[in-house]
Amino acid sequence: MPAAESYPEELKYHPEHDWARIDGDDATLGVTWFAQDALGELVHYEAPVVGSTVAKDESYGEVESVKAVSDIVAPLSGEVLEVNQKAIDEPEIVNDDPYDEGWLIRIRMSDPGEVAGLMDAAAYRVHIADQ
């Protein structure tokens, strides 16, 4: 069952509908409820390789839904520490639980100052209201 619409307050949000959960110098990344809802049921997740780097505002993978294939845009830069294997094996978990079990990658941030450029939940809600 798809998740109910939500935008957790503790997360930071990128205009391209990606979120970041900050934990010291590490960040867990994923796509927002808005993104997974717009895409529809996900059927494939093409993840980056552990040890590779991602760059803020650049694509780091793709998700394929029954509607389209879309790039996933990194909200922050860093080295990929972990990839959520469950999201690869069962991409629909992103629809069911985009913020917890449906996370996509965990990175070590190369520039923690980039966090300041992301939106809080209130600003993100305003952003999507304009979509």
Query: Going by C-beta distance under 8 Å and a sequence separation of 6 or more, which residues neighbour residue 40?
Result: 65, 66, 67
Is residue 54 a part of any domain in this protein? yes
For the stretch 29-79, pLDDT in tens is: 999 999 999 999 999 999 999 999 999 999 999 999 988 999 999 999 999
pLDDT of residue 126: 97
pLDDT of residue 1: 57
Range of the domain at 44: 28-113
Which whole number is the average pLDDT over 85-91? 97
Of the candidates 6, 5, 7, 18, which has an alpha carbon nearest to the alpha carbon of residue 118? Answer: 18
pLDDT band at 131 (very low <50, low <70, confident <90, very high): confident
pTM (2 d.p.): 0.95
Is residue 93 a part of any domain in this protein? yes
pLDDT at 3 over 90: no
Is residue 126 a part of any domain in this protein? no
